Structure 1
Amino acid sequence: MRLHVGCAMWTHAPWQRRFLPHPLPPDERLRAYATWCNAVEGNTTFYATPARTAVESWARQTSPDFRFVVKLPKAITHERRLNGADDEVRAFLDAVEPLGPRVHALWIQLPGSFGPADLGGLARFLHRLPRSHARAVEVRHRAFFEDARSERLLEQVLTSAGAEWVPFDTTTLFRSRPTSDAERDAWTKKPRVPRRSRALTGRPIVRYLGRDDTSGTVEGWRDWAGTVAGWLREGRSPTVFVHTPDNAEALPLARRFHDDVRALVPEVEPLPEPEPAEPPTLF
């Protein structure tokens, strides 16, 4: 039984020399990250379709059971709003093909303006995607969280296409006033929507945003630890991504979440031991 956990990126300046070796060439950074976590959010693909050669390097640096949840480019989701983007989708799928089974899901993050009136377009888009790829949808329009009919209609669209609803849980961040510059910045940019914890498929994906204070982050994920443990007992295969506003401690926090779930479900396989940030010395 495996639980996949990860962060929003695989390289981050505050991690250097603390958690990951530095300097590392670009074609070694993901490999070092993968000794800490067994999944990563593919956020970089939101800004542009990656070069196939770059994706081939990602595949070389990870094992086949490592998970990428790759975000579709904003040209598809935000600019075209899922309409008339067949060429862009084909180019993206061709680019990520070298990852093979590592592509755990195609992540369709929709803008906050994408609401109930757009569900027909989402349904058509999901059914045009190849069935060989799992798909996961993140919505931010408040109607999907506050209006029961809109929520039900979205679930029907997702279920009919075998797609998962990805919650981005920011409730811990917004529970109290920000106390750092990074938290203040997150308050202006992150969606403020209710927590949602219902899985639609056997492959649920959670994005959890805590605080820059470690204790606040850990306290805020207690319910998620229990939910994820329940999914594992049901035979589901969850993936959880841990964020904080500055992400300085995100790597060890992701592993700590894994430990918390494993304490509830001891059958979960442990994560590998991380690669040391500094080479061992003789004395």
Structure 2
Amino acid sequence: MEPPVPLALAQAVPRLPHGRKGLWWYEPKFDGHRAALFRSAESVRLQARSGRDVTAAWMDLALAGMVLRPGTVLDGEIVVWRDGRIDFAAVQARAASGIDRSRVLAARLPASYAVWDVLAHPDHGDVRARRYTERRRLLLDLLADVEPPIQAVPATDDYETALVWYEALRAQGIEGIVCKRAASVYRSGRIWQKARHADTSEAVVVGYTGAAAQPRALAVRLADGRTVLTQRLPAALARDAAAYLTAAAPGPPAATTAGDTYTTTPVDLVVEVLEGTTRHQVVTASRVR
């Protein structure tokens, strides 16, 4: 399996799904940057959700990944811990840095890789068609003797335990809970569910201003149906969004609810916006989801 690989995503839901025991599995939702890790015979590569190669920004994790068996492909979240809590700002700083700067930041605050899935196994090849519970067993076996900074995320099929995690782990920077059906295979698209704490909300990207390769702002559709422009995008977020926007031809021009013109786009892209800003005509996008 070679990068880039389309990754599975999660759909936001207001509460944890619940059914008979064993139907759903629950994992803490780490607040970092999504990445797939590819261990070949010679090296390790890291791929962002957009498909972009981000190995240079996370060389400490690439080096740590050399202990994995060749033929391993993992899916997880890159996080940085500071004083017992996940520091998303530190992750953003690393992601936006050049090679030299990222090395300095890595020495100060090393990254960790929280792994929740295996896409390819050295002995079984591509395992994306296997059910979640089978892939989970394979993942735990692969990482049994692997030490931090690469670790499997906790998982439980007990609903009450998941509720405790949802409340108790918030102080450590855990965003919420990701919920996966036990029988689900791994495929691209929003196949999982996620219940998150209500500090932020999500908005669908319908267009942009500026060039696709260098978007100035995003046109987003909010939950109440309004279409608005975000504030000007910071460099790191503009780069992440551009990876998606440039993958499709621009659509015809359109106008927001307030009458601002933007270029439409057919890409499937969701961004996180700060809670409270959706009352106004301009929102603040904080990251690609």
TM-score, length-scaled by structure 1: 0.28
Relative CO higher for 1 or 2, CA cutoff 8 Å, sep ≥ 6? 1
Structure number having the greater strand percentage:
2
TM-score, length-scaled by structure 2: 0.28
